């Protein structure tokens, strides 16, 4: 069932990809194929792979559930929480600056995955952030945003 849904989703994606390709303006400029030919081949192969998966599923050759990695239902809310927390971190990454945003982000995660050790969690979050900032900003000359700390 899982693989049939996957095949259907990939088929839809392949058709959307082929449609987008078809809308690309043809500019050949000495190139007999232009920018549309290669993506068209890729889209067709993607569509074929979806059909093949559907055929494999019908022949009962799909992965037995026992070999597929299963996520216990309790993990999904935790992973969703990490996802939302990470999006929030990226959203304030430039405004709050790397140092403030990363310390808060890491401390929040550590409170969940390294429970009950607030003092050491705070030290880990601050220490890691300072080290990462030092390496990237000072050694590698990468401009990490400082936010309100840019004085």
Using CA atoms of 127, 89, 85, 117 in order, give the dihedral in degrees to the nearest 10: 20
Q: How far apart are CB 130 and another protein at their closest, in Å? A: 11
Residue 146 binding another protein, by CB under 8 A: no
Residue 149 binding another protein, by CB under 8 A: no
Q: Which of residues 14-53 bind another protein (CB under 8 A)?
A: 14, 17, 20-21, 24-25, 27-35, 37-39, 42-43, 45-46, 48-50, 52-53
The binder of another protein chosen from 8, 12, 79, 130 (CB under 8 A): 79
Nearer to another protein, 142 or 149 (CB): 142
Contacts of 50 (CB under 8 A, 6+ apart): 7, 8, 10, 11, 14
The binder of another protein chosen from 82, 88, 104, 126 (CB under 8 A): 82
Residue 136 binding another protein, by CB under 8 A: yes
The rounded distance, in Å, linking the Cα atoms of 97 and 150 is 9
- Taking CB under 8 A as the rule, which mask of x and - marks residues 101-130 in contact with another protein? -x--xx--xx-xxx---------x---xx-
The rounded distance, in Å, linking the Cα atoms of 25 and 39 is 13
DSSP 48-82: HHHHHHHHHHHTT-SPPTTTS----TTHHHHHHHH
């Amino acid at each position: 069932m899982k693989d049939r849904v996957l095949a259907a989703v990939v088929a839809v994606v392949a058709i959307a990809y082929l449609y987008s390709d078809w809308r690309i303006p043809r500019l050949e400029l000495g190139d007999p194929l232009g920018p549309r030919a290669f993506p068209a081949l890729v889209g067709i192969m993607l569509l074929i792979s979806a059909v093949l998966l559907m055929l494999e599923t019908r022949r009962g050759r799909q992965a037995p559930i026992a070999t597929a990695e299963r996520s216990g239902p309790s993990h999904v809310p935790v992973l969703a929480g990490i996802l939302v927390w990470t999006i929030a971190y990226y959203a304030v990454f430039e405004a709050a600056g790397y140092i403030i945003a990363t310390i808060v982000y890491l401390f929040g995660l550590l409170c969940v995955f390294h429970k009950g050790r607030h003092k050491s969690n705070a030290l880990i979050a601050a220490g890691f952030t300072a080290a990462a900032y030092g390496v990237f900003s000072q050694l590698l000359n990468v401009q990490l945003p400082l936010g309100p700390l840019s004085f």
